[in-house]
Structure 1
Amino acid sequence: MALTENVDRAGPAAGPAERPERRGAGRWARLLPAPGPQRVLAAATLVNTFGSGLFVTSSALYFTRVIGLPTAQVAVGLTAGGIVGLVAGMAAGRVADRWGARRTQIGVMVLGAFFMTCYLFVHTFWPFIAVACLTAAVHSANPTSRDPLVRQFGGERPAAYRAYLQAVTNLAVGLGAVVAGAAIQANSREAYVSLLVGRTVAFVGCALVLTRLPGPARSEDRAPEKPGWVALRNRPFLVATVINGVMEMHYAVPTFALPLWIVDHTDAPRWTVSAVLLLNTAMVAGLQVIAGRSVSSTEAAGRRMLWAGGALCTGLVLMAAADGPTAWVSALVLVAATAVYTVGELWHAAASMEYSFGLASAEAQGQYSGVYRLGAGTGDALAPTVMGVMVLSWGRPGWLVLAVLFLLVGAASRPVVALAGRRSPR
């Protein structure tokens, strides 16, 4: 069957934009990868991230209204989980390289289903901490065990295929959030539990879909062992990891800093919060693949990181300018700022994906992904504190300092990574 063909014998898999057109294919069919491993992995991603949308949208309410925990205890549990997740992601990547990404990814999904079910039996703080750490470990292990599959089945441009999967992720999470919103409107214990069960079913469904991926040839069951943590000795890769980790902080702008800025520091209508978030989500879902098409080398990634720094800087300056004008002018400025910021987000994502594959060894992709995501996770963890101090406490000057930071880091990306490459021992 086509879904179980050995891709090594069939040649490199075509990327979503590279497959030949099928006569009579409809508009929707042309949006799909060609039948085979790429389509299977996309379907698995769709199922899993739909479940993620269900749970992420409703999890805080489940913890506080069903389990009955105070908000402060929920925050402590999620923070502890985030710390555990940083380590789990690196470990999962190493396991995927050693024992095979397909079986590791399936194992991660099965564990996710089991750990998510455990929430049904949590009623106090310490069990919540334990389960939160376990589910956070699964959350971090998912991408680092999946990236080797993206590399294996992504054809000559795995970063472009990962951009396609990112678009699928945004669409699926959005659909899951819509379904969760209907359940939240019911505001009952049964509704929140049903969303938790839905997340568990999505884990199981993803694992079942992943079984349709072709496994490695018998002689390749165990990948050749790499000496130690080779990713930690790759100087250009580590430099790119640090740069990306700093740039990663901007993801807290639309989800954390901007909503609070709009409500507490501008005269814009409160519905502007929903409007700008919807605009950001729609642009990312619709344009991520296009943004990544021309990023096919680390040099191109450096240029896009420069562009990303400029766009993020401009968007943040416009957000700062929204404090002062009348309500409608402020709302229009915020919409324009979000559009410009999102273009920077798209360019950064495209550059980041290329760095994570282009500077990594194919035989140790899981390990490299774990290290790379450790940098990104550190940036994500620091972002709320940085945004809280610089933006919400300092106001306009904080926005401007943050804007200059992203501009400088984006501009430094290409020359600094290139310099590290020239000085790196071969």
Structure 2
Amino acid sequence: MALTPRSLLPAARGQRILTAATFVNTFGSGMFMASSALYFTRVVGLSMAAVALGLFTGAMIGLAAGVLAGRVADRWGARETQIAVMASGTVAMSCFLFTDTFWSYTLVCAITGVVYAADKASKAPLVRRLAGANPAGFRAYLRAVTNLAIALGALAAGVVIQLDSKPAYLVMIVGRAAAFLGSALALSRLPKQERTVSAPAAGGRWQVARDRPYVSATVLNCLMSLHFAVPGFLLPLWIVGHTDAPRWMVSCVLVVNTILVIALQVPISKGVGDADTAGRRMLWAGLALFAGLGLMASAGGTDPWTAATLLVLATAVYTLGELWHAAASMEWSFGLAAPDKQGEYAGFFGIGVGVAEALAPSVLGALALGWGVPGWFVLGAIFLTVGAVSRPLVAWAQRHSPPHAAEEVPVAVPVPSSS
């Protein structure tokens, strides 16, 4: 069978539309992430500390917004909520064109932080609805598409960085806003669904906060998610400041990581269809992360080519851990959630990820860069411990918690099949 662009897309129309919307939006995200810091420092005139503070503020404000957006998606429909979030992102991102002070920049960061958190939470019910007979496979496919789009977006940002002019950076921001709009237009092609109501839930409002298995999984995933700052933050600083490897190894290891994630996310996620299997993958992830971080630490104090070889091997081993963790966390996020409250649960799960993203630079920097080689092994031991306790802890919480009582009950209201 010939390999064509169409053969790489899901068979179901709804899945193809969601894939296209995801690709467009994350391409814009990759472009913005790779070049925005230069715009804010070189064109707007902010210090790097001010840029980091604004991003942190936006991320913190967005944490609570995720749960609220998830509830809205559960109540009023994920398709409509996602379209509204993407449209809001278009407006919010356009506001960066007019920021000229720290306070205006921070205000827009707060708004965009809400948009990003609402995007993740409101998308979860949509993914669950469209996943079909192989939900784990489709979720893994979307993550691979996301990584590919971010990589391509970062590549496009290289043109902007090379030009290094105000008009080029402004075009980049317009492009990011257009990506939000393009995603909204793609999502509008999804068919409307019958409205659903939920049977009265025993847990009432904010049921997720009293769901012990889900809370346990969220905390464990938060701790394990600290490692996501390794490729983009910790490893470049380690390579440049603490090894004799060539500086171009920074780009090399990022390329290796990206290619492996894109190529292996779907096959590695196969068979992860329940909490028990997810717990085993978390153990595998802990083992691989421990080994990968140990190899990274070993690159210090060696000759340049030995260091380069160790770093490539370390990145490959680390990436296996990253992929096993991603497969486990996606199953926990979707599989442990109450069927009728996927958005609310996803928003809560996103709080853990957001906390990890906010704390990772300081935690990883203090351990690995502050303590040196011993700190790398302490960090690896943390991930190994989290992986080891994940399966028994979530299983214990499931045994001591009542099953979800609420199920979706369709309301027979005919709606058009497309918009």
Following superposition, the deviation at residue 25 of structure 1 comes to: 6.3
Structure 2 residue matching 1:258: 3-state secondary structure: helix
Q: Does 1:180 align with 2:157?
A: yes
Deviation at residue 223 of structure 1 after TM alignment: 5.7
Displacement of 1:26? 3.9
TM-score with structure 2 length normalisation?
0.93
Structure 2 match to 1:310: 287
> What do you get for the CA RMSD once the two structures are aligned?
1.3
TM-score (ref. length: structure 1): 0.92
Q: After superposition, where does 1:11-410 map in structure 2 within 5 Å?
A: 26-217=3-194, 219-220=195-196, 227-410=204-387
- 8 Å contact kept, 1:97–1:223: no
CA distance, structure 2, for counterparts of residue 157 and residue 88 of structure 1: 30
Residues 219-278 of structure 1, C-alpha deviations (whole Å, 9 max, x = no match): 43x666752011112111111111110000000111111111111111111111111111
Cα offsets for 1:22-46 (capped at 9, x unmatched): xx76443222101410110001001
Gaps spanning 5+ residues in structure 2: where?
404-419
Would you say how many aligned residue pairs link Structure 1 and Structure 2?
Answer: 401
Pair 1:232–1:193, CA change in 2 (3 A): same
Question: Relative to structure 1, is the Cα distance of residues 237 and 157 closer, same or farther in structure 2, using a 3 angstrom cutoff?
Answer: farther
Q: Does residue 414 in structure 1 map to residue 391 in structure 2?
A: yes
Q: Distance in 1 between matches of 2:76 and 2:60?
A: 25
CA shift at 1:54, angstroms?
A: 1.4
Work out whether residues 158 and 357 of structure 1, in 8 Å CA contact, stay in contact via their aligned partners in 2.
no
Q: Distance in 2 between matches of 1:340 and 1:290?
A: 16
1:214 counterpart SS class:
coil
Over 3 Å counting, the alpha-carbon distance change for 1:152 and 1:25 in structure 2 is farther
Given the superposition, is the C-alpha separation of residues 32 and 256 from structure 1 closer, same or farther in structure 2, using an over 3 Å criterion? same
Query: Is the Cα–Cα contact under 8 Å of residues 244 and 352 in structure 1 kept in the other structure?
Result: yes
**Per the alignment, in what secondary structure is the counterpart of residue 212 of structure 1?**
coil
Question: Does the 8 Å CA contact 1:151/1:362 hold for their aligned counterparts?
Answer: no
**What secondary structure sits across from 2:241 in the alignment?**
helix
Identity %: 56
Amino acid across the alignment from 2:372 = G
Give 2:5's aligned amino acid.
W
Counterpart CA distance in 2 for 1:158 and 1:372 is 18
3-state secondary structure, aligned to 1:269? coil
Q: Distance in 2 between matches of 1:325 and 1:348?
A: 30
Kept in 2, the 8 Å contact 1:322–1:333? The answer is yes
**Counterpart contact for 1:245–1:379, Cα < 8 Å:** yes
Specify the code of the residue in structure 1 equivalent to 2:290. Answer: C
Q: CA deviation at 1:85?
A: 1.3
